[in-house]
Structure 1
């Protein structure tokens, strides 16, 4: 049986040192910042960029997008995007 979206999100959270969530929720800004750090996407340390910018950077770093333009990156991660993110973090 393949992992659910919640399973994948929690695996990613554990991989970057964040806590698991019991309920189904998207990533917080802090969790996205931790994922950015884990995939070597540079963000400003003193002020977190918008979620769309961080998601775009993550997509770019794991090979899901050609660029990191937040206007073209789409919204929250879908299952098909969470799987390569989790794989990239497993290989870290």
Structure 2
């Protein structure tokens, strides 16, 4: 049985040193920044970019997107994107 979206988010959170969440929530800017760091997408940690910019950068760095265009990143990761992010983080371990 494939993991749920919530399970994938929590796996990703734990992979980057963030805390598992009991309730279903999207990633915070801080969690996205931690994922950016884990996939080597450079951001200014003193002034975090928009969530869409960070999502686009993450997808670009793991090979899901051809460029880091925030317009194409959408408002949240889709399940297939979460699966790709989790797999990329697993490969880095």
- Quote how far apart the aligned CAs of 1:74 are: 1.6
Deviation at 1:25, TM superposition (A): 0.4
What displacement does 1:45 show?
Answer: 1.8
CA distance in 1, matches of 2:10, 2:72: 26
- The whole-number CA distance in structure 1 between the counterparts of 2:19 and 2:54 is 19
Aligned partner of 2:52 in structure 1 is 52
Which structure has more helix as a fraction of its residues?
Answer: 2
TM-score with structure 1 setting the length = 0.97
For structure 2, the 5+ residue unaligned runs are none
- Unpaired runs of 5+ in structure 1? none
- Show the 5 A alignment for 1:31-46: 31-46=31-46
